[in-house]
């Protein structure tokens, strides 16, 4: 072997680099172990205290030196080590993965200054509908929709606003306006990205990841180890739309409220009479005026006796008894929607001042506090929200002062020890604030953020200088978050969560244990198999390569700061199984050379030389599949592709070069090496299977099986996961075993008849719930509503003392949300990934073998394998006790099957090419049979080791990846079959046909 010194040097350097990278992980784990011990000692049995002490300990260690490199030559703090350690994904560590979308539609509305033009809104609606099934960006779709609805319409008339002065004028063409909108939208999204990054940086999350995605307006955020996901969502989705409003006192509008209450009573009575009349006469006409709003009242929430009573506005809104306050009434959280509906009716609005606007407070008050405001008793368990009356003083309905006037904000404690937010304003804001406070002495000014009243302090005197405070009974964390949002700036449009994954720390810990267990057992199984089959010394050399490969993979992962996920662990373990292939190829060629009578040293040299071509081809085709998967995948799938590609590269180096160096050292030391045992010496040697002669039989068998699968696909279809359909899923753990069917029945009622599925997930006290309820809505209020519905439906199974907050923290183990547009993108990417992988493989084989028949045979086998796996999943998804959903992980499995199958096929093709060169005068049928029989040993060995690995993962691994691994098991079996019985026979048919045509000519 040439360049032995360079290879030896590279191997040593790679080992040192890997050791250097992995030692950071060792030191961070030591610090975190100490933090856990400290937290358990101080926190006792209180999980919240334990979490707080753990956080405090790690926070105090951030800038402490924990690693002295080369006796202090370079010192690394805990924070620096943390940045260089192996990153665990959310499925292993727990945390959040979010895709936020800054809707371009919202930005367009803002740029038009919220135009009320009917054509404009119709165009937006049409573009919104088309976006669901289009790859075009929203601005293009909006432009096309506007041209379609109003062929002679001019966008300049809508967008000739103060904000766009100098960029759009009345003479601007529609194309020019769309270009301005596109540039403004890009700038707004860039600003939103920077604001989100600032919020996250101040949030204090370790190793956060935030990046723009290819789709316009989408931002990926990964926050490992986050313990309060709902708080994070609130922090990230808030627009920071801060407003200061003048207010009405309750006494100023009380008479108007009395009239509003009377009107609602009359309307309800009229509705009741009309309904009775309609029933008696059989009339089925529907009302289309504001009275129809009353149909939405949830009468089921009222008892029978209560339904007999007269219902009005004050049934749901308890009037305030404080005339000098802007609080006009209080309502429970479940009744606020009813109050909003009543107040939105035109008949009710007619009784109220035109400049009156209502908003609810952000935080509820207790029943005792509510008694102070209304002089009425309330249930001690009730929490009530205050309805505040705002006064609109501008012509455009905007507040007199907004958040852009705030130059800085920070959380502080006042003299009473309560937390508040201290703000400073710019010069223009300070002038407006002084004028506003001077005009409202002894009256309240409401401080509103994102549509909710945070506080309504009474102005004692004029405030100059632009400094003021927001009070509101804040907790330390709430004050910090609010100051963070105000400081980082106002979002140009709401950031909506279109995809989210939340994994609780306990579920992540269990996944780690299951993943490591499967990994260790699979690794041991492969090591033992190599020694049993190839003998102690040769097997030990192969095992050395496997151990070195494992060490290199982890080191390279750490060096690239890659994220290790559950599919990533599966990728590593699969790489171990597939990396055996290179050793098997080399050892089988060495055995052939020894049987040909060559000496041991020459047989080893020729074995490596002759196996090199097949190893290169097999590794490149699998690597190309991984590369395509990396390009089109997201999240865990990208992690799987990363580990697969790294594993292929390191296994190639380990199998080809490290083992060669070891063998040369052993041979120079006159060590006798055998490459078989008595049991395996003559195994497969006498194989003379007539593959080509029996090809029609195998075509028939495959055809029948695929036909059955196609029939099932046509009539049963596939069980699509929420990755492809959109929806929400939750894993909920109960204290006692529960029935999935009973929970499903309860949730169907809770989710108002929407599609709901509940399945046992792992143990019988853990359930996975999937639903598409309100999935088309992507605002925070809808997310909260779905969680509330889930909680209400599961309440009978949780116990009486389990509150919503306790359910979210202790019982909900993970959650996932995929919006319809994300699901559409994932489907498109999956299709592209499979298509491009087939094209790339065909082109590689065409170029490598210079023969299109081989490429056609390979593609035929791959299509056969994909259809077979799809058919199995269609037939068995309702039978198997684990999830067989078609999701991103399944696509990863399909592409891995493609890579594995082509790996096997290329080895067979390589031997056929070799034998056709060695025996040019032999019959083509004989050459094919001889080549395929000579590779049986390698094919079976590689397939067995890979299957052993996959079976161990399937049996010992987490239920999260059982469906994924099952697809791989089926794929390995069918891929091994197709490389011998489908790919080569197809190639033979076309080659033979071409040769016959040549002879005829």
CATH of the domain at 782: 3.30.70
* 492 vs 600 pLDDT, higher one: 600
User: Per mean pLDDT, which range of 292-296, 312-316, 626-630, 761-765 is the poorest?
Assistant: 292-296
Q: How much is the pLDDT for 681? A: 73
Residue 471 lies in a domain: no
CA distance 827 to 850: 34
Q: Which structure tokens are listed for 791?
A: 């909680």
Q: How much is the pLDDT for 48? A: 63
Residue 841 lies in a domain: yes
Rounded alpha-carbon distances, angstroms, from residue 866 to 231, 363, 718, 891:
43, 54, 14, 10
CA distance 674 to 553: 29
Q: How much is the pLDDT for 192? A: 72
Contact 444, 195 (CB under 8 A): no
* 635 vs 323 pLDDT, higher one: 323
Q: Do 854 and 982 reside in the same domain of the chain?
A: yes
The torsion angles phi and psi of 419, rounded to 5 degrees, stand at -85, 140
CA distance 59 to 61: 5
- Residue 327 confidence class, pLDDT cut points 50, 70, 90: very high
Q: Do 830 and 887 reside in the same domain of the chain?
A: yes
Q: What percent of the chain has pLDDT over 90?
A: 4
Q: How much is the pLDDT for 455? A: 81
Instruction: Select from 16, 50, 85 the last residue of a domain.
Output: 85
CA distance 821 to 213: 14
Q: How many C-beta neighbours within 10 Å does residue 382 have?
A: 15
User: Per mean pLDDT, which range of 178-192, 305-319, 425-439, 535-549 is the poorest?
Assistant: 305-319
For residue 767, what are the contacts with CB-CB under 8 A and spacing of at least 6? 731, 732, 734, 738, 740, 743, 758, 759, 760, 761
Residue 593 lies in a domain: yes
Q: How much is the pLDDT for 291? A: 40
Beta bridge pairs of residue 318? 330
Asked whether residue 598 carries a pLDDT value surpassing 50, the answer given is yes
Nearest to 867 by CA among 728, 708, 721, 739: 708
What is the DSSP secondary structure assignment for residue 64, as one 8-state letter?
S
Question: Which of 574-578, 678-682, 814-818 tops mean pLDDT?
Answer: 678-682
Supply the range of the domain harboring residue 354: 242-456+477-490
Q: Do 486 and 526 reside in the same domain of the chain?
A: no
Residue 993 lies in a domain: yes
Q: How much is the pLDDT for 290? A: 42
Q: Do 661 and 791 reside in the same domain of the chain?
A: no
User: Per mean pLDDT, which range of 175-179, 473-477, 965-969 is the poorest?
Assistant: 473-477
The structural domain count of the chain equals 5
CA distance 410 to 481: 10
Q: Do 320 and 411 reside in the same domain of the chain?
A: yes
User: Per mean pLDDT, which range of 171-185, 257-271, 728-742, 976-990 is the poorest?
Assistant: 728-742
Q: Do 574 and 431 reside in the same domain of the chain?
A: no
Coil/strand/helix, residue 441: strand
pLDDT tens-digit series, residues 671-697: 888 888 877 777 666 678 888 888 899
pTM of the prediction? 0.62
CA distance 182 to 185: 5
Please report, for the domain that includes residue 556, its CATH number: 1.20.1640.10
Instruction: Select from 237, 254, 285 the last residue of a domain.
Output: 237
Q: What is the mean pLDDT of the chain?
A: 78
Residue 842 lies in a domain: yes
Q: Do 277 and 221 reside in the same domain of the chain?
A: no
Asked whether residue 358 carries a pLDDT value surpassing 90, the answer given is yes
Q: Do 320 and 354 reside in the same domain of the chain?
A: yes
Q: Do 54 and 121 reside in the same domain of the chain?
A: no
Residue 498 lies in a domain: no
CA distance 193 to 211: 8
Mean pLDDT of 521-529: 82
Q: Do 393 and 313 reside in the same domain of the chain?
A: yes
CA distance 428 to 447: 18
CA distance 225 to 92: 10
Mean pLDDT of 946-959: 76
Asked whether residue 283 carries a pLDDT value surpassing 80, the answer given is no
Asked whether residue 433 carries a pLDDT value surpassing 80, the answer given is yes
Q: How much is the pLDDT for 294? A: 40
Strand order in the sheet with 763-771: 209-212, 218-224, 95-102, 495-503, 812-818, 727-733, 763-771, 756-761
Rounded alpha-carbon distances, angstroms, from residue 148 to 120, 179, 346, 683:
12, 18, 34, 73
* 191 vs 950 pLDDT, higher one: 950
Nearest to 264 by CA among 374, 346, 330, 336: 346
CA distance 600 to 593: 9
User: Per mean pLDDT, which range of 120-124, 409-413, 658-662 is the poorest?
Assistant: 409-413
Contact 767, 760 (CB under 8 A): yes
Instruction: Select from 237, 257, 273 the last residue of a domain.
Output: 237
Asked whether residue 387 carries a pLDDT value surpassing 90, the answer given is yes
Looking up tokens 């010496």 gives 681
pLDDT tens-digit series, residues 110-124: 888 788 888 888 888
Q: How many C-beta neighbours within 10 Å does residue 194 have?
A: 12
- Residue 494 confidence class, pLDDT cut points 50, 70, 90: low
Residue 722 lies in a domain: no
Q: Which structure tokens are listed for 335?
A: 């009744």
Asked whether residue 146 carries a pLDDT value surpassing 80, the answer given is yes
- Residue 47 confidence class, pLDDT cut points 50, 70, 90: low
Nearest to 866 by CA among 842, 840, 839, 899: 899
Mean pLDDT of 208-216: 65
Q: How much is the pLDDT for 359? A: 92
Q: How much is the pLDDT for 375? A: 78
User: Per mean pLDDT, which range of 220-229, 250-259, 336-345, 704-713 is the poorest?
Assistant: 220-229
User: Per mean pLDDT, which range of 50-59, 620-629, 837-846, 870-879 is the poorest?
Assistant: 50-59
pLDDT tens-digit series, residues 765-779: 778 788 877 776 666
Residue 831 lies in a domain: yes
Q: Which structure tokens are listed for 12?
A: 């040593």
Q: How much is the pLDDT for 250? A: 87
Mean pLDDT of 904-910: 83
Beta bridge pairs of residue 503? 95, 814
The torsion angles phi and psi of 132, rounded to 5 degrees, stand at -65, -30
Q: Do 557 and 649 reside in the same domain of the chain?
A: yes
Q: Do 70 and 108 reside in the same domain of the chain?
A: no
Burial class (CB in 10 A: 0-12, 13-18, 19+), 354: exposed
Asked whether residue 506 carries a pLDDT value surpassing 80, the answer given is no
Q: Which structure tokens are listed for 295?
A: 């149909």
User: Per mean pLDDT, which range of 507-516, 518-527, 559-568 is the poorest?
Assistant: 507-516
Q: How much is the pLDDT for 712? A: 92
Q: How much is the pLDDT for 280? A: 43
Distance separating the N- and C-terminal Cα atoms of the chain: 48
């Amino acid at each position: 072997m040439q360049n032995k010194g360079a290879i030896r040097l590279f191997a040593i350097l790679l080992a040192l680099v890997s050791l250097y990278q992995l030692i950071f992980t060792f030191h961070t784990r030591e610090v975190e172990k100490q933090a856990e011990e400290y937290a358990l000692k101080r926190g006792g049995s209180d999980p919240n205290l334990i979490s707080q002490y753990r956080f405090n300990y790690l926070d105090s260690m951030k800038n402490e030196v924990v690693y002295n490199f080369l006796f202090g030559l370079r010192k690394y703090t805990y924070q620096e080590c943390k940045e260089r350690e192996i990153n665990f994904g959310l499925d292993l560590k727990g945390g959040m993965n979010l895709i936020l979308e800054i809707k371009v539609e919202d930005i367009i509305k803002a740029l038009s200054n919220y135009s009320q033009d009917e054509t404009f809104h119709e165009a937006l609606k049409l573009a919104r509908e088309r976006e669901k099934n289009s790859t075009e960006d929203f601005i293009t779709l909006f432009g096309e929709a506007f041209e379609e609805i109003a062929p002679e319409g001019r966008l300049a008339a809508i967008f000739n606003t103060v904000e766009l002065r100098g960029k759009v004028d009345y003479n601007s063409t529609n194309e020019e306006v769309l270009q301005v909108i596109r540039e403004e939208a890009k700038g707004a999204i860039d600003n939103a990205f920077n604001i989100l990054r600032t919020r996250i940086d101040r949030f204090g999350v370790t190793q956060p990841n935030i990046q723009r995605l290819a789709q316009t307006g989408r931002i990926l955020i990964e926050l490992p180890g986050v313990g309060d996901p709902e708080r994070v969502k609130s922090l990230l989705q808030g627009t920071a739309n801060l407003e200061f409003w003048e207010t009405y006192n309750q006494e100023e509008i009380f008479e108007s409220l009395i009239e509003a209450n009377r009107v609602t009573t009359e309307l309800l009575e009229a509705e009741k009479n009309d309904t009775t009349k309609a029933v008696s006469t059989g009339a089925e006409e529907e009302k289309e005026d504001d009275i129809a709003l009353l149909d939405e009242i949830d009468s089921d929430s009222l008892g029978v006796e209560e339904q007999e009573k007269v219902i009005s506005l004050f049934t749901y809104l308890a009037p305030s008894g404080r005339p000098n306050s802007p609080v006009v009434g209080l309502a429970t959280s479940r009744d606020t929607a009813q109050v909003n509906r009543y107040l939105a009716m035109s008949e009710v609005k007619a009784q109220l001042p035109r400049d009156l606007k209502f908003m609810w407070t952000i935080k509820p008050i207790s029943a005792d506090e509510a008694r102070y405001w209304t002089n009425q008793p309330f249930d001690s368990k009730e929490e009530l929200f205050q309805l505040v009356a705002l006064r609109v003083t501008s012509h455009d309905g905007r507040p007199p002062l907004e958040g852009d006037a705030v130059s800085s904000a920070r959380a502080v404690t006042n003299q009473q020890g309560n937390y508040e937010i201290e703000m400073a304003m710019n010069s223009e804001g300070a002038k407006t604030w002084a004028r506003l406070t001077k005009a409202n002495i002894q009256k309240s000014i409401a401080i509103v953020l994102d549509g909710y009243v945070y506080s309504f302090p009474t102005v004692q005197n004029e405030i100059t200088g632009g400094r003021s405070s927001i009070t509101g009974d804040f907790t330390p964390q709430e004050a910090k978050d609010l100051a963070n949002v105000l400081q980082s700036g106002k979002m140009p449009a709401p950031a909506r969560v279109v995809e989210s994954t939340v994994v609780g720390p306990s579920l992540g810990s269990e996944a780690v244990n299951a993943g490591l267990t499967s990994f260790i057992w699979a690794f041991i199984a492969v090591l033992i198999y190599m020694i049993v089959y190839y003998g102690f010394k040769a097997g030990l050399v192969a095992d050395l390569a496997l151990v070195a490969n494992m060490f290199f993979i982890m080191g390279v992962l750490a060096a690239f700061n890659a994220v290790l996920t559950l599919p990533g662990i599966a990728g590593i373990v699969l790489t171990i199984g597939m990396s055996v292939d290179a050793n098997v190829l080399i050892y089988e060629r060495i055995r052939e050379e020894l049987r040909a009578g060559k000496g041991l040293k020459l047989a080893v040299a020729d074995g490596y030389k002759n196996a090199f071509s097949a190893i290169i081809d097999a590794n490149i085709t699998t690597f190309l599949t991984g590369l395509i998967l990396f390009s089109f995948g997201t999240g865990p799938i990208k992690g799987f592709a990363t580990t697969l590609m790294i594993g292929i590269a390191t296994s190639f180096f380990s199998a080809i070069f490290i083992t060669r160096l070891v063998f040369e050292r052993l041979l120079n030391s006159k060590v006798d090496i055998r490459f078989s045992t008595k049991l395996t010496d003559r195994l497969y040697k006498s194989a003379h299977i007539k593959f080509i002669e029996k090809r029609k039989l195998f075509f028939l068998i495959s055809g029948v099986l695929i036909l059955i699968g196609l029939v099932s696909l046509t009539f049963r279809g596939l069980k699509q996961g929420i990755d492809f359909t959109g929806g929400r899923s939750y894993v909920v753990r109960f204290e006692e075993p529960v029935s999935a069917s009973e929970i499903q029945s309860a949730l169907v009622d809770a989710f108002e008849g929407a599609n709901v599925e509940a399945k046992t997930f792992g143990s019988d006290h853990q359930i996975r719930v999937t639903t598409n309820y309100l999935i088309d809505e992507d605002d925070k209020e809808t997310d909260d509503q779905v969680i509330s519905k889930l909680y209400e439906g599961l309440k009978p199974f949780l116990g009486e003392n389990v509150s919503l907050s306790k359910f979210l923290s202790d019982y909900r183990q993970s959650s996932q949300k995929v919006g319809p547009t994300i699901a559409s993108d994932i489907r498109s990417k999956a299709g592209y990934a499979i298509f491009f992988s087939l094209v790339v493989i065909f082109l590689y084989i065409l170029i490598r073998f210079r023969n299109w028949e081989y490429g056609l045979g390979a593609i035929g086998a791959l299509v056969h394998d994909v259809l077979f796996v799809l058919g199995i999943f269609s037939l068995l998804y309702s039978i198997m006790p684990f999830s067989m959903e078609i999701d991103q992980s399944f696509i990863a499995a399909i592409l891995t099957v493609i890579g594995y199958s082509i790996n096997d096929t290329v080895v067979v093709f390589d031997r056929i090419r070799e034998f056709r060169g060695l025996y040019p005068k032999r019959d083509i049928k004989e050459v094919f049979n001889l080549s395929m029989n000579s590779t049986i040993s390698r094919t079976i060995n590689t397939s067995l080791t890979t299957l052993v690995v996959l079976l161990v993962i399937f049996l010992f691994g987490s239920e999260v990846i059982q469906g994924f691994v099952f697809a791989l098991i089926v794929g390995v079996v069918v891929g091994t079959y197709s490389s011998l019985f489908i790919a080569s026979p197809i190639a033979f048919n076309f080659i033979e046909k071409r040769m016959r045509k040549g002879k005829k000519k």
